[in-house]
Structure 1
Amino acid sequence: MEIPKRNSTKRSGKKVISLEYTNMDLKNWCDIIENAAKKLGLDFYPQEFEIVDYKDMIGYEAYSGMPSRYPHWSFGKSYDKADSLYKYNISGLPYEMVINSDPCLAYLMKDNTLLLQILTMAHVYGHNDFFKNNRLFKEGTRASYTIEFFKNNADIIREYVNDPSIGYEEVEKVLNAAHSIRFQINRTIGMGKSDEESKEDLIAFIIEKGKLEEWQKNILNIVRRETAYFIPQIETKIMNEGWASYWHYKILNYLKLPPSLHLEFIKRHNDVISPLMGTINPYYLGFKMFEDLEKRYGKDKIFEVRALERDESFIRRYLTEELCSEMNLFEYIKKGDDYVVKEISDESGWTQIRSTLCSNCGVNMIPSIVVDDISKKDGALVLKHIYEGRELNSTYMEATLKHIYDLWKHPVELNTVIYENKTKVCCEEDKKISYTNVK
């Protein structure tokens, strides 16, 4: 999890950095913030901070915050992109990154001002509390094993890369395929897996029913398990960032900062939660909703909500008409080359806006592909797209079917909807893609 990126300041081609504090200053402030967080009722794992430079931060960002990940070209691509955007001052870097681990590990940019370090440390304690207490993280992850888990996975895949009988190209081929379907797993956290739900876990189905070597199954399972670790973060982005923003604001007000720091605090906080044009700022929406919940129901209620909900249920239950109007939320659609307003936050339109937000948060943003059958005729894997009004991107769809073919080693069929017509898309044995309308 991270606070939004900010652009670096440059003068005469060089970044201007003013560091008016020492590591001992940060240690003292960390102790002050931790004590305040405890007094205000937060319950968190032991917290560790690491100060890093921009290259380290780019690296951790590319690896989703983990100190160690298995080798794959996609991580290098992410690193090069972030590095180039930063060097040319097109995009900035996070103020911090936080890992759901026990102890909780967070990285702070050494270029941050003292106030930014204070604010981000308070923000981190909010995330830490959320990781420890929200049910999706409690039921879906093992925080005490996180760092070791990712390191062990990296070691296993590196062994396959270094094995002369396997090698990097073969490993990369399986990883490419696994990455293409990594979110097509069981997304229901904390529930037992029924026979029907097993068909919703495409990777597990291929592992069980496909004709793969043991090392290939192990790689698929590594990607599957690592993806499962990130599902709670995807499902609670708005809540988690809103909770952390709510508590950095509470903690810093509780500390009664000296005037030399207070003005920057107000500006930085407003930067974090400012609304964005044409999209939703999760920090803003989550902050406003938790602020509203405490006003209406009291402090105990926000801790209850933090423990039980995910973004979809959080929005559906607690986003009110008054909040929609206050935040001036509206829904727009594309007509031709233009975008036009479809709904506004009035008495008749706000519930539609709420429903649209629910359908576009968490894993709801990711297409769901499930197993339908295995053809008795030619062993084809028959898949079904759970169509909810959004069509698949044809370029990604075709590439993904080819990756699935590499794993299944037989034709792959996908039933979906294209231009409102039921369509069967097939990847044949020569990896040729064909389309057939289905009545």
Structure 2
Amino acid sequence: MTAEYSINDLTYWNNRIEEAVKAIGLDCYEQHFEICSCEDMLCYEAYVGMPAHYPHWSYGKAYERQKTYYQYNLTGLPYEMVINSDPCLAYLMRDNTLLLQILTMAHVYGHNDFFKNNRLFKRDTRAELTLEMFKAHADRVRSYIQDPGIGPDKVERILDAAHALRFQVPRNGPGRAVSRPVLNEETPEAAAGRLQDDLLGFLAERGALVEWERDLVHIVRDESVYFMPQIETKIMNEGWASYWHYQILQQLELPQKLHLEFLQRHNLVVRPHQGQINPYFVGFKLFEYLNRQYGASQLMTIRADERDQSFLRRYLTRELCEDLSLFTHDVQGEDIVVTEVSDDEGWKKIRDVLAQSVGTGNIPVIKPQSVEQGKLMIGHSFDGRELELNYARETLNYVAALWGGTVELNTVINGQTVVLSATKN
């Protein structure tokens, strides 16, 4: 803890924030905070925030990358990290100033309310089991690593394949129900139909895997389903937390010194970023606009019902596109050319392009289609955007590894149907 403040100071301000949260009408889980060091925050960031998580080389790589960037001042650390759990757990960095801790705690309560009330989180996650689930997964993976008959190399091989396919899980419907063990009485074709939006779940059920391998694929799939609502609501979630931290701190009647720092910190959080979309900025501006248009009651309904794609399509207006200075661009040779600006017609194209690219919008959808004489047929849901072929071929090898045989992928390249094939080595 810095000399600037004590635990008692944080407790005092947290109590003030909780009073404001209740007065506003936010509906939160019980909130727990943990003070951590910069080193701890680097670890939590690399291991997706969880106090317990299974080991994999990709997390170590993420940790070393973030640590190097941080040491050379190429990136900062998040002010906080909050977990969708009940009770809700959030980490505060010990080196934060007092004002930054106050702002961060208020921001966390915004996330907490969003986790508890947005329909994607209510449908696809069980917050009361989150920490237990991740700990159980970590324990099982470590038990396989330590098993003399399995060992780290075999575990890594399965985890690598499952990680390559971790986004091929349900995006638009309940994602919990994948059978354990395999339903032998169901045909592969019937399973492909039932799991047409869940390639990883299909492979977990139907792949030529022994039980511990199948369990590893289920673990990766279950954690991917848990994180999917966060991916699909990044703009809404960060915008909601930013909007309410601003409202809460305005009500706290901060001392002048803290108030000035608050304005500086808040503007840093919600400022536009050059060359990219800042979800805090876009989300904050949208909720600010919607509150003026519809009021707090409708704001709560929007928070509960939408995901980023529908949120932008329904509520991003021409006025907001102009206010946010949004435009689209294309790369032509060595030049970057603006293709649309927020005028009478252009703003609609900008809205649609942005809505198409948020969440999992830039991740291809690959579906299991049929099984023909042991060969798995999968298809790319072509939406006008072609697959990157080198990446597609490498990923197809992972599908074949989990399937245990030959896999064929149908896609479209240059307007022509193309079939890519891979067979387990």
What TM-score, normalized by structure 1, do the two folds share? 0.91
> Counterpart amino acid of 2:163?
H
Q: Deviations 1:16-38 (Å, cap 9, x if unpaired)?
A: x9741111111111111111111
Partners of 2:194 and 2:362 lie apart in 1 by 19
Q: Is the 8 A contact 1:19 1:113 kept in 2?
A: no
Which residue of the partner structure matches residue 78 of structure 2? 94
Partners of 2:372 and 2:175 lie apart in 1 by 29
- The Cα of 1:256 is off from its aligned counterpart by 1.6
> Counterpart amino acid of 1:62?
A
Q: Give the direction of change, closer, same or farther, for the CA distance of 1:124–1:21 in structure 2 (3 Å limit).
A: same
- The Cα of 1:91 is off from its aligned counterpart by 1.1
Partners of 2:217 and 2:424 lie apart in 1 by 22
Find the residue that maps to 1:71 and give its secondary structure.
coil
Partners of 1:29 and 1:169 lie apart in 2 by 49
Structure 2 residues not aligned, in runs of 5+? 178-189
Which residue of the partner structure matches residue 319 of structure 2? 322
Which residue of the partner structure matches residue 185 of structure 2? none
Which residue of the partner structure matches residue 372 of structure 1? 369
- The Cα of 1:110 is off from its aligned counterpart by 0.7
Which residue of the partner structure matches residue 8 of structure 1? none
Which residue of the partner structure matches residue 30 of structure 1? 14
Which residue of the partner structure matches residue 253 of structure 1? 250
- The Cα of 1:197 is off from its aligned counterpart by 4.8
Corresponding position: 1:391 with 2:386: yes
Corresponding position: 1:43 with 2:27: yes
Corresponding position: 1:410 with 2:405: yes
Partners of 1:18 and 1:162 lie apart in 2 by 41
Find the residue that maps to 1:426 and give its secondary structure.
strand
Select between 390-399 and 215-224 the one with higher mean Cα deviation.
390-399
Q: Deviations 1:10-61 (Å, cap 9, x if unpaired)?
A: xxxxxxx974111111111111111111111111011111111111001000
- Match of residue 239, structure 1, among 225, 232, 236: 236
Q: Is the 8 A contact 1:19 1:111 kept in 2?
A: no
- The Cα of 1:246 is off from its aligned counterpart by 0.1
Structure 1 residues not aligned, in runs of 5+? 1-16, 431-439
Which residue of the partner structure matches residue 216 of structure 1? 213
Task: Describe how 1:424-439 pairs up with structure 2 within 5 A.
Answer: 424-428=419-423, 430=425
Partners of 2:169 and 2:194 lie apart in 1 by 9
Q: Give the direction of change, closer, same or farther, for the CA distance of 1:192–1:54 in structure 2 (3 Å limit).
A: closer
Which residue of the partner structure matches residue 309 of structure 1? 306
- The Cα of 1:204 is off from its aligned counterpart by 1.8
Corresponding position: 1:338 with 2:322: no
Q: Deviations 1:61-92 (Å, cap 9, x if unpaired)?
A: 01110001111111111111111111111111
Partners of 2:13 and 2:333 lie apart in 1 by 54
Q: Is the 8 A contact 1:135 1:307 kept in 2?
A: yes
Which residue of the partner structure matches residue 175 of structure 1? 159
- The Cα of 1:208 is off from its aligned counterpart by 2.4
Task: Describe how 1:103-118 pairs up with structure 2 within 5 A.
Answer: 103-118=87-102
Q: Give the direction of change, closer, same or farther, for the CA distance of 1:243–1:162 in structure 2 (3 Å limit).
A: same
Q: Is the 8 A contact 1:123 1:247 kept in 2?
A: yes
Partners of 1:178 and 1:406 lie apart in 2 by 10
Q: Is the 8 A contact 1:405 1:412 kept in 2?
A: yes
Find the residue that maps to 1:363 and give its secondary structure.
coil
Find the residue that maps to 1:21 and give its secondary structure.
coil
What TM-score, normalized by structure 2, do the two folds share? 0.94
Find the residue that maps to 2:112 and give its secondary structure.
helix
Flag as ranges the 4+ runs of structure 1 deviating above 4 A.
Answer: 191-195
Corresponding position: 1:286 with 2:283: yes
Partners of 2:123 and 2:424 lie apart in 1 by 41
> Counterpart amino acid of 1:267?
Q
Q: Is the 8 A contact 1:177 1:407 kept in 2?
A: yes
Which residue of the partner structure matches residue 135 of structure 2? 151
Q: Deviations 1:355-397 (Å, cap 9, x if unpaired)?
A: 0011001121211111122232xx2222111122222223322
Q: Is the 8 A contact 2:340 2:350 kept in 1?
A: yes
Partners of 1:268 and 1:420 lie apart in 2 by 49
Corresponding position: 1:401 with 2:396: yes
Partners of 2:205 and 2:77 lie apart in 1 by 41
